Amino acid sequence: MRILVIEDEKEVASLVQRALLQESHAVDVAEDGPQGEEMSLAEAYDLIILDLMLPKKNGLAVLKTLRREGLATPVLLLTARDEVSDRVAGLDAGADDYLGKPFAVAELRARVRALLRRQSDNKASLLSAGDLVMDTVSHEVRIGGNHLELTSREYAILEYLLRNKGRLLTKGMIAEHVWDYHFDSDFNLIEVYIRRLRQKIEQAGRQRLIHTVRNSGYVIREPEA
Ligand code: CA
């Protein structure tokens, strides 16, 4: 999934970025309030991690603007000060959760997983289609009980498809939710990834799960009985 980290402290931003990249997410970083606000509104993020203490415009003001503009993307606040009033103000301004600094990377990852789950129809940490099961905590994918080896990008595409099971996803949507800001939307590359992913799944499970909708995109569906 695609995540924006708005944090000016480079060490914290890169710690968060590394933790999320290990979970196969695409991550962009904004270094101040106005840049974060602009990117949040321009790109299709699945989650925004927003620090409260930011140069030029603070996190609370950014959050208020985003919600006023109607952006519904979940926001996880990072709060430096251990003050109840900051957290209350943040939650009241439309944040979905908060994490006090310093934080444990394991807790950050768990909160991100919880927020991404809350957004999708599926509240479980297991995603599935047919006999394919993805464990979003351990990152293991199994087909009929057998481990399926996927690259990080293949995993990310499959996760996005599974979170939107039954829904048509265009190449543009896949590009936006799986790749970061620097991807120049090479749709041929998406086709290549989908083909490879489909081959792996069909070799292991002998079922067609990922379907191409001509001139539109892709959908993952339960196999027909
Ligand atoms: Ca900061």
> Which residues, other chains included, contact 7 with Cβ-Cβ below 8 Å and sequence gap of 6+?
13, 16, 29, 30, 31, 49, 50, 51, 54, 78
Question: How many angstroms separate the CA atoms of 177 and 119, rounded?
Answer: 14
CB 138 within 8 A of CB 117: no
pLDDT in tens, 162-217: 999 999 999 999 998 998 877 777 888 999 999 999 999 998 877 899 999 988 99
Which phi and psi angles does 198 have, rounded to 5°?
A: -65, -40
- How many Å lie between the centroid of ligand 1 and the Cα of residue 37? 15
Q: What percent of the chain clears pLDDT 70, i.e. is strictly above it?
A: 97
- How many Å lie between the centroid of ligand 1 and the Cα of residue 9? 5
- How many Å lie between the centroid of ligand 1 and the Cα of residue 59? 9
Asked if the model's pLDDT at residue 74 lies above 90, the reply is yes
pLDDT computed for residue 122 by the predictor: 66
- How many Å lie between the centroid of ligand 1 and the Cα of residue 86? 14
- How many Å lie between the centroid of ligand 1 and the Cα of residue 6? 8
pLDDT in tens, 13-70: 999 999 999 999 999 999 999 999 999 999 999 999 999 999 999 999 999 999 999 9
Domains of the chain: 2-119 (3.40.50.2300), 126-220 (1.10.10.10)
Q: Which residues of 146-160 are buried (b: 16+ CB within 10 A; e: fewer)?
A: eebebeebbbbbbbb
